[in-house]
Amino acid sequence: MTRIAVDCMGGDYAPEEIVKGCLLAYKELGIETLLVGDEEKIRDILKREGFREELSIVNTTEVIQMDEPPSNVLRKKNSSLYVAAKLVREGLADGLVSAGNTGAVLTVGKFVIGSLEELERPAIGAALPNPKGKTVLIDVGANVDCKPKHLLHFALIGHTYAEEILGIKNPRVGILSIGEEEGKGNELVKETYPLLKMSKLNFKGNAEGRDIYAGTFDVIVCDGFVGNVILKASESLGFAVIQMIKEEVQKSFLAKLGALLMKPALNNFKKKADFTEYGGIPLLGAKKPVIITHGRANAKAIKNAIRVANEFLTHHFNEKLLENLRNLLPQGVKV
Amino acid sequence: MTRIAVDCMGGDYAPEEIVKGCLLAYKELGIETLLVGDEEKIRDILKREGFREELSIVNTTEVIQMDEPPSNVLRKKNSSLYVAAKLVREGLADGLVSAGNTGAVLTVGKFVIGSLEELERPAIGAALPNPKGKTVLIDVGANVDCKPKHLLHFALIGHTYAEEILGIKNPRVGILSIGEEEGKGNELVKETYPLLKMSKLNFKGNAEGRDIYAGTFDVIVCDGFVGNVILKASESLGFAVIQMIKEEVQKSFLAKLGALLMKPALNNFKKKADFTEYGGIPLLGAKKPVIITHGRANAKAIKNAIRVANEFLTHHFNEKLLENLRNLLPQGVKV
């Protein structure tokens, strides 16, 4: 039986929604969690929710704030996040879920849990929605300045994520650039392209920004700086569009009525696009699953993150990743 | 009287919509254009539209295709685009508008018309919509690998564009990064930050991806690789969202009715977000205005692009830019 350590004090709605998420994961999916945080508060919530069975709690006294410098986490050794990561490193838990300070989660993922020795750097993969399914954008923030070797590894990690977790067979891999043709791009892209071409991945060449949400690629590789700004820009564009449409709708009675009639359809769409359905974004290549959820994660988002962390274990993600590292990289080339 | 050279053969709807756009610019705005392209075809369209007055046409025999390598334009010296740019260089026209191959327009902008001597590189500035107005993202594709000096110049160019063309007083300038705090970002950002801080621009520090569509900054600086993928990703996200909502709406009669009632409001929103309203994106820092419109530009988009090219002249954009270059850059620092 696996057990996921959950940082109960991280996130905008912690500990309330986080603890409820752990309960949901247990009740609906039968997944056990280790609740790390302020024991008294956690017990109160569990009691209020009428949960009588024993859930393991590990008491901690410190909290990493959402706006704290991520590096603080390595000094605050009694914070819920640090302790949760340490439990994973020591084998007392099999994976980590946190809705806390993204940078801090990354830091413990990299330096407390650590990455697979065969990989120099773990990467964050975001499964973004498109009309036909999902596209993995990798890396979206773990590595700002990258070398060609790293992008090659990200491609391989993204391939494994798409195939093993998202169920996409023989995923089409692209490298993000500013034109379709080989030879277009910045120095990093131009140097990485031949490595990807030589690999045994299903490499389809350069992807453009417009491919990210079009479903033309299953995995798109970029450095973490580019991926991060795209991810955040997309979110902000979504908000801006909704805001601007709302303002127009408010100006007319018929439009307001129309919006009301469309609501169920819009809710279905929102469900498809909603981060709470995804269960967060994984730090891929860490020794154990690390799932970073949105700071605004509610109980459902936490439950889904726990489910995903568990899937990484039951699908033997790391074993497949290592196998792919041995078999799919360019042979006889020093990268 | 100014006169704008228009590449009548570039774009998905050339020459028909391009020629009509020139007519609209003349009829509605009184702006004269020099129509460059296949004379016979252009005359046919002018005749069909019932336009009897003399509009200047320059006959050319070659066309740069939308999917042609941009560098071809420097060899195809009788193409409509090359000739239009040459007319500008020789002072026979005062600006250039093209809906053609973006890379090719950039190439003639840089190498035929040329950039201001005081600037090493021109940059493309995109005025993106937000609920409160516009944010200039610069560069969105003219320069893939950049040095801190270039980003500093882009900031200054963007400042001048926001102030002189968009009418934003004392624009808030930011540098695109992956965290708000000083010190966050890749090497390029970290090296550019102090230069911006020392300048006399209204520098507000790091902007994140989420600031692009939020209206929290008026000018956001990035290298052309990052800007280009963001611009194209945004467009593709817009399409994907509309597509996914449409699919949900189709499933229900009430939702279809709702969509019908909302249509006028949605059209108002679309107008705000529509590229045809903007009149294309300018290559800023060229010796004369160069406006690149979307390949799908219709007559209205072309008319607006001609209007914008003219505004650069009547607002004395380049003179202001040179003045700002002298006055707002960090003093006594070699960049």
**Does the distance separating the beta carbons of B176 and A240 come in below 8 Å?**
no
Residue A147, domain member (yes or no): yes
How many domains does chain A divide into? Answer: 2
Contact B289, B31 (CB under 8 A): no
Same domain, A180 and A224: yes
Q: What is the bridge-based pairing of β-strands A32-37 and A56-59?
A: parallel
Q: List chain B residues with CB under 8 Å of A295.
A: none
B1, B108: one domain: yes
Asked if the Cβ–Cβ distance from B234 to A234 is below 8 Å, we say: yes
Residues B200 and B88 in one domain: no
* CA distance linking residue A323 with residue B47, whole number of Å: 69
Q: Is residue A332 part of a domain?
A: no
Whether A236 is in a domain gets the answer yes
Residues A186, A83 share a domain = no
Pairing of β B172-176 and β B202-207? parallel
Domain of A69 in residue numbering reads as 1-119+277-315
CATH no. for residue B71? Answer: 3.40.718.10
CB contact under 8 A, B213 and A225: no
User: Helix, strand or coil for residue A291?
Assistant: strand
Which residue from A minimizes the CA distance to B228?
A178
Chain B residues with beta carbon closer than 8 angstroms to that of A239? 213-214
* SS3 at position A251: coil
> Do A262 and B266 count as a contact with CB atoms less than 8 A apart?
no
Question: What is the three-state SS of chain B?
Answer: CCEEEEECCCCCCCCHHHHHHHHHHHHHHCCEEEEEECHHHHHHHHHHCCCCCCCEEEECCECCCCCCCHHHHHCCCCEHHHHHHHHHHCCCCCEEEECCCHHHHHHHHHHHHCECCCCCCCEEEEEEEECCEEEEEECCCCCCCCCHHHHHHHHHHHHHHHHHCCCCCCCEEEEECCCCCCCCCCHHHHHHHHHHHHCCCEEEEEECHHHCCCCCCCEEECCHHHHHHHHHHHHHHHHHHHHHHHHHHHCCHHHHHHHHHHHHHHHHHHHHHCHHHHCCEEEECECCCEEECCCCCCHHHHHHHHHHHHHHHHCCHHHHHHHHHHHCCCCCCCC
Please tell me which residue of chain B has the smallest CA distance to A243. B131
Partner residue facing B248 (CB), from A176, A224, A269: A269
Q: Answer whether residue B210 is part of any domain.
A: yes
Report the range of poorest mean pLDDT among A171-185, A192-206, B277-291. B277-291
Do the Cβ atoms of A234 and B233 come within 8 Å?
Answer: yes
Size of interface A-B (CB pairs under 8 A): 199
Chain B positions touching A179 (Cβ under 8 A) are 103
Do the domain assignments include residue B236?
yes
Residue B145 has its nearest CB partner, among A187, A240, A248, at: A187
pLDDT score of A276 = 53
In a domain, B38, yes or no: yes
| Chain-chain contact of B238 with A237 (C-beta, under 8 angstroms) | yes
Answer whether A226 sits within 8 Å of B229, measured CB to CB.
yes
Does A146 share its domain with A167?
yes
Residues A149 and A115 in one domain: no
Q: Smallest Cβ distance to B141: which of A178, A187, A211?
A: A178
Q: Which of B229, B193, B3 is nearest to B94 (CA)?
A: B3
Contacts of B69 in chain A (CB under 8 A): 181
Q: Are residues B8 and B81 in the same domain?
A: yes
pLDDT tens for residues B274-310?
655 567 899 999 999 999 998 889 999 999 999 999 9
What is the tens place of the pLDDT at every residue in A289-328? 999 998 889 999 999 999 999 999 999 999 999 999 999 9
The reply to whether A131 and A104 lie within a common domain is no
Q: Identify all chain A residues contacting B247, using CB atoms and an 8 Å cutoff.
A: 131
CB contact under 8 A, A255 and B236: no
| A282 closest CA partner among A132, A157, A130, A151 | A157
The per-residue pLDDT for A130 is 87
Q: How far is B266 from chain A (nearest CA, A)?
A: 7
Residue B51 to residue B54: CA distance in whole angstroms: 8
How far, in Å, CA of B216 to CA of B204, rounded?
10
DSSP A286: B
Within a domain: residue A36? yes
Please give the backbone phi and psi of residue A166, each rounded to the nearest 5 degrees, phi first: -90, -10
Give the pLDDT band (50/70/90) at residue A62. very high
What is the pLDDT of chain A when averaged over all its residues?
Answer: 91
Question: With contact defined as beta carbons under 8 Å apart, do A110 and A21 qualify?
Answer: no
- Nearest CB to B232: which of A208, A259, A272? A208
Pick out chain B residues at pLDDT < 50: none
Cis peptide before A15 (omega within 30 of 0): yes
Output the pLDDT for position B335: 61
- Assign A335 a pLDDT band (cuts: 50, 70, 90): low
pLDDT at A247: 82
CB A123 within 8 A of CB A161: no
Query: Shortest Cα distance from A203 to chain B (angstroms)?
Result: 19
Shared domain check, B207 and B172: yes
Q: Is a pLDDT exceeding 90 seen at residue A261?
A: no
Name beta bridge partners: A1. Answer: none
Which residue in A192, A191, A189, A195 sits closest to A209, CA to CA? Answer: A189
Nearest to B265 among A209, A225, A255 (CB): A255
Task: From chain B, pick out residues whose CB is under 8 angstroms from the CB of A234.
Answer: 209, 233-234, 237
Using DSSP's 3-state secondary structure scheme, residue A99 falls into coil
Cα gap A209→A236, rounded to integer Å: 16
Strand ranges inside A222-305, DSSP E: 281-284, 290-292
Is the pLDDT at A111 greater than 90? The verdict is yes
Q: CA A276 to CA A294: how far, in whole Å?
A: 8
Q: Which residue of B has its CA nearest to A268?
A: B248
| Closest residue to B240, CB basis, from A131, A186, A247 | A131
Q: Write the pLDDT tens digit of every residue in B217-267.
A: 999 999 999 999 999 998 888 878 878 788 888 888 888 888 888 888 878
From B56's Cα to the closest Cα of chain A, the distance in A is 35
Answer yes or no: do A136 and A59 share one domain: no
Domain for residue A52, yes or no?
Answer: yes
Residues B135 and B232 in one domain: yes
Q: Are residues B150 and B73 in the same domain?
A: no
CA distance A119 to A116: 6
CA angle B310, B315, B320 (to 5 degrees): 130
Chain B residues with CB-CB distance to A273 below 8 A:
241, 244
Nearest residue on chain A to B233, alpha-carbon basis: A209
> What pLDDT digit, counting tens, does each position of A204-256 carry?
999 999 999 999 999 999 999 999 999 999 888 887 887 878 888 888 888 88
Beta-carbon contacts of residue B102 (< 8 Å; ≥ 6 apart)? B70, B141, B292, B295
Q: Which residue in chain A is spatially nearest to B250 when comparing CA positions?
A: A265
